[in-house]
Structure 1
C-alpha cells in the first residue's frame, strides 16, 4: 500500500494511491483543502485523536470528504471497523463546473478494505515527507489558500507511535511546543 501527495504546485497536486496491486491517480485542485480535509477526516476516524483541549476537534464527518478535481468531485469515505478500514472512492458530478446531468455518475472508483493502522502509517510517512520537503509556509505558498494540516498530522503521528492520545493540555492550559517540535521532527522508519 502506498499513499503519495506529490507535484504540489499553484492550483493542483497529484495524489497516487496504490492498494492491492492497483494504482489510482487523482488531481485535486486548490478549490478544496484536499490534504487538510483528508487528514482531518482520517483523524476523526482514529479513536486516539481526541484533542483534550476541545472535545471533537476532529468532528465526525458523515458521507466522507470531497476533493474538487475539475469536472468531478472525488469523494473519499472511510468506514472503520476496529482493525479494518473500508475505503470507498467515488466520482461525483461537480455541478459548479458542469450543470448538464452526467448519467454515468456517481461512479465507484474503488471499494476496498485494509488494516487501519497500515493505512494511517502510509499517510503519516507521506505527510512527514511533504512537510520536510516543503515546510509549513512553503506548502501554503504552493497550495495557495490552505495551510499544511499540522494538527491532524501531529495527532495521527502521536497516536500511531505511542498508542495513546496526544495530551496537549499542560498545567498552564497551553501546549508544549517542545513536544510538538520533537514529534514533528521525529522520523518514522
Structure 2
C-alpha cells in the first residue's frame, strides 16, 4: 500500500505498507517529493520509456532524496522483471543539522515486492490525489512544485493498457482529449 496524504503547506505524510509492515515518512517542500518519486518510478518501468524522447524519464543513478527536516530520506528502486527491491536510507541533512550524527546513515527499509502490484497501488493513490485536489490545488498546497502529470499519465496508461502512452505517434504528440480522458478515467 502506498498513501500520500495530509498534503498541506508544503508538508505531506507518506505511508508505505509492505509485507504487513507500515512505514511513515514526512517529506517537506524543500524537495519535489512526489514528483521525484513518480518520475523515478516511471524511469524503472519499461513501458514508460519506450515511446518517450530520450531523457524524458532518464534512469536515475543512486535514487532520489526527500527532505524530511533534519533527515534526508534516500529511495532506491531495483527492478528485476516482476520483482521490485525498495531500499530506503536515512542520512543526515547537513542544512538542518551540522552536528555529525554517528547513527547515520541508517537503512529504514530494504524489501522486495511485486513490481506490477506496487505500480498499481501508486497509480491508484495518485489518481485519488489528483481527483481530490486537482492540479492547481496540489500546487497551492505543495508550494514550489506541481503535480507530476507526465509520470502519472505514463504509469496510469501502462497499468490500464499494458503498453506505452504513445506521445510520439504523430508530429504533434498526444491530443489533449487523450490526456484528459486518461486523467479522468477510473482505475480498478
- Give the TM-score of the pair, scaled to structure 2: 0.97
Q: Give the deviation of 1:173 after TM superposition.
A: 2.3
Q: Deviations over 1:35-86 (max 9, x none)?
A: 0000000000001102635223101111110000000000111000011000
Residue aligning to 2:134: 135
Aligned to 1:144: 143
Runs of 4+ in 1 over 3 A off after TM superposition: none
Q: Distance in 1 between matches of 2:186 and 2:81?
A: 27
**2:157 corresponding residue in structure 1:** 158
Alignment of 1:73-152 (within 5 A): 73-152=72-151
Q: Distance in 2 between matches of 1:174 and 1:128?
A: 23
**1:4-19 aligned within 5 A:** 4-19=3-18
Report SS of the residue matched to 2:48.
coil
Gaps of 5+ in 1: none
How many residues matched? 188
The root-mean-square deviation of aligned C-alpha atoms, in Å, is: 1.0
Segments of structure 2 that go 5 or more residues without pairing to the other structure are none
C-alpha separation between the residues in 1 aligned to 2:112 and 2:129?
A: 25
- Find the counterpart in structure 1 of residue 70 from structure 2: 71
Deviation, 1:168, is 1.3
